[in-house]
Amino acid sequence: MKRLAATVLAVILACGGIISGSFAEGEETYQYQVRQDGTAEIVSAGRELTEAVIPAELDGYRVTAIGRNAFSGAGLYNKHVTVPASVRKMSLERFPMNPTFRVIPGSTAQWYCDNQMLRYELVEPET
C-alpha cells in the first residue's frame, strides 16, 4: 500500500504541480500549487487584501515562487507587500495599483523589484 501511495505521489509531482491547496490566516487567503521540487508557488491571493505578508511556508510547503497572476485580483492600492527570503521566483505579470514591496536585502525579490522598477523598502529578515 505504501508503494502505491508513493507511486501516485510521484506521478502527481511529475505532472507539474497538480497538488494544490488553500491557506487562510486572518484576511489573507492564498491558493498554491506544489511544484516538482516539493515547494509551493502562490497562484492566487484573496481579493480582499489591503496589505499582504506572503508567508515563507504554507501548510508545510516552503513558498519559493509567486505566479504571474497571483495578485491580479487583490485590492492593494498603494499598500505594502512583504516578500519572504524563501521566494526565488517572481513572475508577476499584473500587480495591481503599484504597491510598495517590503523585501530582504540581497533577495530575489529585491533583484526583481530593481529590474522591474518597482517601489520597495528593505526590511530585516525575521529570526
Note the pLDDT of residue 41: 94
CB 41 within 8 A of CB 62: no
Using DSSP's 3-state secondary structure scheme, residue 73 falls into: coil
Note the pLDDT of residue 28: 66
- 35-39, 44-48, 94-98: the lowest-pLDDT one: 94-98
Q: How many angstroms separate the CA atoms of 53 and 99, rounded? A: 12
Note the pLDDT of residue 44: 85
Using DSSP's 3-state secondary structure scheme, residue 121 falls into: strand
Using DSSP's 3-state secondary structure scheme, residue 53 falls into: strand
Note the pLDDT of residue 9: 46
C-alpha cell at 79: 499598500
User: Is pLDDT at 108 greater than 80 in this prediction?
Assistant: yes
Would you list the DSSP string of 38-51? S-EEEEEE-TT-SS
CB 63 within 8 A of CB 28: no
Q: How many angstroms separate the CA atoms of 110 and 26, rounded? A: 26
Q: Which CATH architecture has domain 2-122?
A: Alpha-Beta Horseshoe (3.80)
Note the pLDDT of residue 3: 54
